Amino acid sequence: MDGCVDMGSGPVCAMVWEGRDVVKTGRSILGATNPLASAPGTIRGDFAIDVGRNVCHGSDAVESAQKEIALWFGKDEVQSWKQASFDWIYEKP
Active site residue 76: no
What torsion, rounded to 10 degrees, do the Cα atoms 40, 2, 14, 51 define? Answer: 10
Instruction: Give the type of residue at 93.
Output: P
Give the C-alpha separation, 1 to 75, whole Å. Answer: 32
Catalytic residue from among 5, 12, 29, 57: 57
Q: Are 83 and 52 in contact (CB under 8 A)?
A: no
Active site residues: 57
